[in-house]
Homo-oligomer: A and B are copies of this chain.
Amino acid sequence: MKLLVVGSVAFDAIETPFGKTDKILGGAATFIGLAASVLKTDVSLVSVVGGDFPQEYLDMLESRNISTEGVEVVKDGKTFFWSGRYHNDLNSRDTLVTEVNVLENFDPKIPESGKDAEVLLLGNLHPGVQLSVLEKMEKRPKLVILDTMNFWMDTAWDILMEMIAKTDVITINDEEARQLSGEYSLVKAAQKIHSMGPDYVIIKKGEHGALLFHEGKVFAIPALPLEVVFDPTGAGDTFAGGFAAHLAKTGDFSFDNMKSAIIVGSAMASYTVEKFGTERLQEVTQQDLLDRIALFKQLTTFEVDLYFD
């Protein structure tokens, strides 16, 4: 199946305890597209960049069969830019600069070839923009996956609710799930979020892994314990990309295959954090992915033989 991704293609400048970068390639849709390309999923990006965005980045994406037909270039505009500094624990960061630039008036242009995509991944954008994408599709995609964040809960609640009502799978972090639902228990939070629309609720917990909730069932996966996390930027987007790409590639939206998709996304994300930005993700092979999926299997497999009298 075809995967359509709407989200940012951007510049990042990153500081971690291990070093710093100049302006490098970033953006949610970029990480998602690259993750999809490892799985050789038919993927199309919808985004907007400025005239300052290097053609070589678009060429690199195209060379990996990531369609950039839907990436609008605003010649006299500037590309979205984010700069941040991670703390020593790499779990928290300060934003140093956010220049929204051309993303401010982002009006997604869906290319004809993308309008019949069966799987739609709506990256973290204003929920009004996300809704407008749904309206532009030829027909409703078979699976709508939504990423969002607390900022939209604070500033665009009603329209966010409207968007969530039309969502099949929502991915948010644990604090956002609590804010969205008003419940501290993640089990109760997931129940409330189900009642807002999504059949599947994925709660991302960073270094503590992720939870998937569906019809009273739960799946939990720890993150792979890593010796070195070099740069966490894009890990969540890579996760979402691997997840959505696996579902589009297999066309199977069952709970069991959603679990597989979470493993694929987690394995992919565990590579992203090993180098700055998209650098490591660009090198990942299918064999790398298989290796790390095998590690997840080792990490979580157990047998209990009981011996009761």
Q: Which residues of A contact B (CB under 8 A)?
A: 40, 88-90, 184-188, 205, 208-209, 211, 217-222, 225-229, 249-250, 256, 259-260, 262-264, 286, 289-290, 293, 298-300, 302-309
A220 to B222, Cβ gap below 8 A? Answer: yes
Contact of A293 among B90, B250, B304 (CB under 8 A): B304
Report how far A208 CA is from B188 CA in the complex, Å: 16
Other than the given A89-B184, A221-B222, 10 more pairs (CB < 8 A) read A90-B184, A185-B228, A186-B225, A188-B227, A220-B300, A250-B305, A286-B306, A286-B308, A290-B306, A293-B304
Between-chain CB contacts (< 8 Å), 18 pairs: A88-B184, A89-B184, A185-B228, A186-B225, A187-B227, A209-B222, A218-B299, A219-B302, A221-B222, A221-B300, A221-B302, A256-B303, A260-B303, A264-B304, A286-B306, A289-B306, A290-B306, A293-B304
Shortest A12–chain B CB gap in Å is 23
Shortest A111–chain B CB gap in Å is 25
Shortest A305–chain B CB gap in Å is 7
A208 to B208, Cβ gap below 8 A? Answer: yes
Known: A184-B89, A220-B222. Contact between A259 and B208, CB under 8 A?
A: no
On chain B, the residues within 8 Å of A286 by CB distance are 306, 308
Max chain B C-beta neighbours (<10 A), residue from A40, A208, A290: A208
On chain B, the residues within 8 Å of A304 by CB distance are 260, 263-264, 293
